[in-house]
Structure formats: structure tokens, C-alpha cells
Amino acid sequence: MVSKEFFEALADLETEKGISREAFIEALRTALISAYKKQYEGGAGEVDIRINPEKNSIKYYTVRTVVEEVTDREKEISLAEAQLLKKSYKIGDVVSEEFVPKDFGRIAAQTARQVILQKLHETERDNTLNEFSDKKDELMSCVVRKVDAKNVYVELGKGQIEGVMLPQDQVPGERYEVNDRIKVYVKNIKNSGKGAQVLVSRTSAGLVKRLFENEVPEIKSGAVIVKSISREAGQRTKMAICSEDPQVDAVGACVGNKGARVNAVVAELGGEKVDIIQWSENPLEFIAKALSPAKVISVTQVDEKSAIAVVPDDKLSLAIGRDGQNARLAARLTGWKIDVKSESAAAKMEELHRAAEEAEGDAQPAAEE
């Protein structure tokens, strides 16, 4: 294990991977001492290992303390015996004697390899954290490198860092093939004991927002503000926007000339429908717009954060959407509970309510008599 090439390899690791040679040597020294003690458990005593990269050497030493009376020969040495080695030794001094361990070369080589791999792993983790510390919540292009039964693994950034797309972050029905180039949203960067892990997503509402930022300069500049987004990935997204500048048409800016901007986002989302909603300070007006593409006749507040929206009879299914999706997304977008009713059902409910009030009014005088 001890050779000039070995220490040259350490110098190369320092240059190529940014691993501190001093830190590596100290980690290797500690690991070798631990490995030696395990190998010679019960008879190893105290040992010290000194690594000198300038001399390309690794030397082993027994370490014993000078005492008046020896009770443990593996750890202690008498004053008389110590002074045979060196006359200046006195009680309490530490005596180090070099030795050559038998049959330890293979263990030492394995230990060095493990330490190298561990340091490489730690360095890659630290580099990942440094490179991606400011990338959370950002949009990134990547290349699919591996797909297994559950996860999709992608290659990110200049350092070819691995990102993981978990099942819940994969769009239902969207297929990922090795070497596909896709855009992903960086959800989180985790620092675990096993290393840094970059979690990416194709289902996050943040992905839609970042895609629109790329396509719509007015969003990037702040002239158009994205107020909220609700999404069921692969099917439909609703995005509420506004502009504080009366000269800026927020919806028009996001749609683009002949729909160019919104179509570019839809293409990146694999054909997912995108409804761009004009946000309003008036919550009832906002609810009416959020139920787009259905036309809404009226919206009535029932109690705090709860409302009834009335739509034409022939637009009820459109307002509710398949499996309730349109109404569900509108509720998430606005933060209100929305009860969607057809015009005829609302009229019947109003009629029943009026009849109940009249009956209550008729009953009142009779009770007084």
C-alpha cells in the first residue's frame, strides 16, 4: 500500500476533487488505528500511526506510558526499561517504538480505499450543497439518466449532480425515457448521512409559475403578479394573475400573441390545460372568474369563506368539471368553499326558501292569538 504512486494519487485527489490532503491523511490515520485495533483485538495495546506524504511513508508505533510499577505491559513500561531505550525518560513520559505489523498490508489497503471513497462521497455531498444552495424553488433543465420501478434519476447542472424524482413528483401518464431532456422544479435539497439529495418535481405548481416566468417578461419584471396557482398535474392548472399597472393587460401578456406564450407552457406540460384567471380583490367576482371556462350567473356569500355559484343549466357539468375537477381547482385557487348549482336548482331552492319564510310568517299571528 505504501508507495510513491499512492501519495501522488492523494495529491491528484486534492487537485481534482478539492479534498484537503491534510484532512484526508488525518482521516486515514484514524481509520488505520481503528482497523489495527480490530485486527489485533486483545493484544494491540496503544498504537500510533504516522503518515508522511513528503517521505511517502506510513509508520506504526507502540505507545506506552512510563510508570513506577507496570500493571499492563501493553500500555505501560517501567522506568528502568524505558531508560534502557533513552536515559532522559522519566515517570509520566510516553515511549513510542516503531514496529512493522504482520499480515496487516491487506487490511491497511482496504481501509485506505474505504477512506478514499468516504471522502469522495463527503466532497460530492458538500459540492452538491454548495452548487444547489441557491437553486431551491428554481426551474432547471436536466437529462434523464435512469428510470427504475419507482423513481426517475436525472442529471442536473454543470457538475452533473444527480436529482431524484419520486413517484408523487411524476406526472401521471407522462413517460420518462433515458436521455430525455426535460425541465424540472427543484423542490428541496436534503443533507442526509448518506449524502446530499436533490429532489425535483414535474407536478409542483411552482413548475408552472417558473415556466410562465421564462415565457412572460412581464412576470419576470414584476409588472404581472402571479397571485395563486392550483394544479392537478397532467390534467389542468388554474393560475390567477393581476397587474397594478392599468396599462398592462395581465391575461393578454400571459396568453401572448396568438396564444404563443401559453402554448409554449402547455407544450412543456405535455398538453395540460391551463386556465389564466384575472384575479380580483372582490372574492365573489374572483370566484366567478375562477370557474372559467363556465359562465357564472351569480355568486352569493353564505358565510365566511363559503359561497354558492349559480350557472346556466347547460353549463353545470362544465362548471363542475369531470369528477368535480374544475370546481375543486377553483376552490383551491380562491381559498373558498364553492357550492356550484344550476340556475333551475337555485331557483327551486329560492322558491322553497321563500315558501318556508311565508309559512313561518303565517304561523306567527296564529301563535300570538
Domain layout of the chain by residue ranges: 4-127, 139-201, 204-279, 292-364
Map residue 295 onto helix, strand or coil: coil
Q: Please give the pLDDT value at position 367.
A: 47
pLDDT at residue 285 in the model: 97
pLDDT value of position 33:
83
In 3-state terms, what secondary structure has residue 216?
A: coil
Query: What's the rounded Cα separation, in Å, for the pair 60 and 122?
Result: 27
Question: How many C-beta atoms lie closer than 10 Å to residue 208's C-beta?
Answer: 25
4-127 against 139-201: fold identical: no
Name the CATH superfamily, with its identifier, for domain 292-364. K homology (KH) domain (3.30.300.20)
Assign domain 204-279 to a CATH class. alpha beta
The CATH number fitting domain 139-201, selected from 3.50.50.60, 2.40.50.140, 3.30.930.10, 3.40.50.410: 2.40.50.140
C-beta atoms surrounding 311 within 10 Å: 25
pLDDT of 241 reads: 97
- The CATH architecture one would assign to domain 4-127 is 2-Layer Sandwich (3.30)
pLDDT value at residue 235: 96
Question: Is residue 64 within 8 Å of 95, Cβ to Cβ?
Answer: yes
d(CA 211, CA 227): 15
pLDDT for residue 12:
78
pLDDT per residue as tens, the chain (369 positions): 456 777 777 777 777 766 777 877 888 888 888 888 777 765 556 888 888 888 888 888 889 999 999 898 888 999 999 999 999 999 999 999 888 877 777 777 787 778 777 777 777 667 666 767 778 899 999 999 999 989 999 988 765 678 899 999 999 999 999 999 999 999 988 766 556 678 999 999 999 999 999 999 999 999 999 999 999 999 999 999 999 898 999 999 999 999 999 999 999 999 999 999 999 999 999 999 999 999 999 999 999 999 999 999 999 999 999 999 999 999 999 999 999 999 999 889 878 777 766 676 666 554 444
Predicted confidence at residue 40, as pLDDT, reads 75
Would you say the C-alpha torsion 115, 121, 122, 124 has a positive or negative sign? Answer: positive
